[in-house]
Structure 1
Amino acid sequence: MKKTLLLLSFSSSMMFASSPAELLKTKCASCHILTLPNPTMIPTMKAPAMEAVMFHINLSMDDKDKIKAFIMDYAIDPKVSKSVCESDKVQKFGVMPSLKGKITQKELSVIADHLIENFPTPEFVSLIKEMQTNGKMNALINSPFLLNSRALPHMTKILVENWDKGTLALSAEQKEKLLLVRKETMTAVKNIKKQVKVLEAEIIEIVVDAEDLKNADSKIDAVAKLKAEATKVHLKCLTNTVEILNEEQMELLFPFWDS
Structure 2
Amino acid sequence: MIIRKLIIASLLLGCTTLLSASQEEAKALTTEKCAECHMIDSMTDTKGANGHIKAPPMWGVMRKIHENFKSKDEVVAFLIDYTMNPASEKMLFPKATEEYFGLMPSQKGKLTEEELALIAEYLYK
The answer to whether the 8 A contact 1:58-1:67 is kept is yes
For the Cα contact (< 8 Å) 1:36–1:51, is it kept in 2?
no
* Residue 48 in structure 1 maps to residue 43 in structure 2: no
Distance 2:96 2:42 in 1: 21
Q: What is the identity percentage for the equivalent residue pairs of Structure 1 and Structure 2?
A: 36
2:91 maps to which of 83, 90, 105: 83
Q: State the distance in 2 between where 1:67 and 1:58 align.
A: 7
CA distance in 2 between counterparts of 1:48 and 1:78 reads 15
Mark the CA change 1:88 to 1:50 in structure 2 (over 3 Å): closer, same or farther. Answer: same
Moved over 2 A (4+): none
1:29 aligns with 2:35: yes
Q: Measure the CA separation in 1 of the matches of 2:78 and 2:29.
A: 18
* 5+ residue gaps, structure 2: 1-20
Q: Alignment length, in residue pairs?
A: 98
Structure number with higher helix proportion:
1
In the TM superposition, what whole-angstrom CA distance separates every residue of 1:151-204 from its partner, at most 9, and x where no partner exists?
xxxxxxxxxxxxxxxxxxxxxxxxxxxxxxxxxxxxxxxxxxxxxxxxxxxxxx
Coordinate RMSD, CA, aligned: 2.0
Higher relative contact order (CA 8 A, sep 6+): 2
Q: Deviations over 1:103-153 (max 9, x none)?
A: 112111100100101xxxxxxxxxxxxxxxxxxxxxxxxxxxxxxxxxxxx
Alignment-derived partner of residue 82 in structure 2: 74
Paired with 2:86 and 2:108, the residues of 1 have a C-alpha distance of 10
Report the equivalent of 1:226.
Answer: none
The 5 A counterparts of 1:103-142 are: 103-117=111-125
TM-score normalised by structure 1 residue count: 0.36
- Give the Cα–Cα distance (whole angstroms) in 2 for the partners of residues 76 and 83 of structure 1: 13
Q: For residues 120 and 60 of structure 2, what CA distance do their matches in structure 1 show?
A: 15
Instruction: Output one character per residue of 1:207-250: Cα deviation in whole Å (capped at 9) or x when no partner.
Output: xxxxxxxxxxxxxxxxxxxxxxxxxxxxxxxxxxxxxxxxxxxx
Q: 2 CA distance for matches of 1:34 and 1:23?
A: 12
What is the TM-score when the length of structure 2 is the normalising length? 0.72
The structure whose Rg is larger is 1
Equivalent residue letter for 1:32: H
The CA deviation at 1:36 is 4.6
Partner of 2:107: 99
User: How far is 1:47 from its partner?
Assistant: 0.4
Q: Residue 49 of structure 1: CA displacement?
A: 0.3
Instruction: Give a deviation string over 1:83-115, Cα, whole Å, max 9, x none.
Output: 111221111101100000111121111001001
The amino acid that maps onto 2:81 is: D
